[in-house]
Amino acid sequence: MLTVAVLISGAGSNLKALLDAAAEEDYPARIVVVGADREADGFAHAQAYGIPTFLVPWSEFDSREAWGAELATQLAVWRPDLIVLSGLMRLLPAEVVDAWSPRIINTHPAYLPEFPGAHGVRDALAAGATQTGASIIVVDNGVDSGPILAQERVPIRSDDDEHTLHERIKPVERRLLVDVVRRIATGELDLSAP
Ligand code: GAR
């Protein structure tokens, strides 16, 4: 059974999809802990499933490195096989990425390498694109630049705003994320050679 730590910053809809999947008897992964950089609404999903949570508040640290060191300490307690960044809106310091690589994956609401960064949905709309997408990648030390594990196109409608487009991307992300974690757990997907 693959053990997974999930890191979030917000609503945690992708987290909830993983928790729902992991509650199925035949799903080959279990979520052991959920962490966040702020008081995230998504903690409620973890609590509903009785999954432990931890908070490493970004605002209480002087540097990314100090924050990352505490995050690494918390993660080490749970010794997960895989870390999933599921809407964590912080770049991890190189020390954390290097310690866990390639066992850290990230969800992103665009068809990478198009529109990386914190505003993938907004940037796709601003560029006048007619399609965007969702991607699941291995985290490296760049911004959304790691190997792509899965991705799918999502069309942009002429009347889309950031909210409506993101709401159409999210179900695709959830499906891809649940499937990628399953394939990692079964060995179908080898993170060291994606
Ligand atoms: C998701 O769309 C995720 O891809 C995105 O934040 C959203 C979190 O939603 N992450 C990024 O943009 C990272 N650059 P959720 O909290 O409801 O899962």
Answer whether the bond into residue 147 is a cis peptide, omega within 30°: no
> Could you report the per-residue pLDDT of 100-151, keeping only the tens digit for each?
999 999 999 999 999 999 999 999 999 999 999 999 999 999 999 999 999 9
Ligand 1: does its nearest atom lie under 6 Å from the Cβ of 133? no
Strand bridging mode 104-108 / 29-36 = unpaired
Cβ–Cβ under 8 Å, residues 19 and 45: yes
| pLDDT beyond 90 at 79 | yes
Phi, psi dihedral angles at 124 (to 5 degrees): -65, -40
For ligand 1, mutation pick of 170, 172, 174, 178 (most atoms within 8 Å of CB):
170
**Strand-by-strand arrangement of the 104-108 sheet:** 53-55, 29-36, 2-8, 82-85, 104-108, 131-138, 148-155
pTM of the model: 0.97
The closest residue, in CA terms, to atom 16 on ligand 1 is 12
SS3 state of residue 11:
coil
Domain residue ranges of the chain, discontinuous segments joined by +: 2-186
Q: Is the CB–ligand 1 distance for residue 129 below 6 Å?
A: no
Using CA atoms, how far apart are residues 114 and 157, in angstroms rounded to an integer? Answer: 18
Is the distance from the beta carbon of residue 107 to the nearest atom of ligand 1 less than 6 Å? yes
Q: Is 8 in the pocket of ligand 1 (CB under 6 A)?
A: yes
Provide φ and ψ at 31, rounded to 5°: -90, 125
Cβ(159)–Cβ(133) below 8 Å: no
Q: Is the per-residue pLDDT at 91 higher than 70?
A: yes
Our answer to whether residue 166 is catalytic in this structure is: no
Ligand 1, atom 14: nearest CA belongs to which residue? 118
Tens digit of each residue's pLDDT (9 = 90 or more) over 22-70 = 999 999 999 999 999 999 999 999 999 999 999 999 999 999 999 999 9
Give yes or no for residue 193 having a pLDDT over 90: no
- Matching residue, tokens 């560029």: 127
- Could you give the C-alpha distances from 148 to 136, 145, 154, in angstroms and in order? 6, 8, 17
Q: Cα 72 to the chain's mean position, in Å?
A: 16
Region 160-169: mean pLDDT is 98
Site of tokens 């199925």: 24
Is the pLDDT reported for residue 194 higher than 70? no
What is the reported pLDDT for 29?
98
For 2-186, the fitting CATH number among 3.40.630.10, 3.30.420.40, 3.40.50.170, 3.40.50.1100 is: 3.40.50.170
| 168's tokens | 């159409």
Q: Could you tell me where the beta strands, DSSP code E, fall in 75-160? A: 82-85, 104-108, 131-138, 148-155
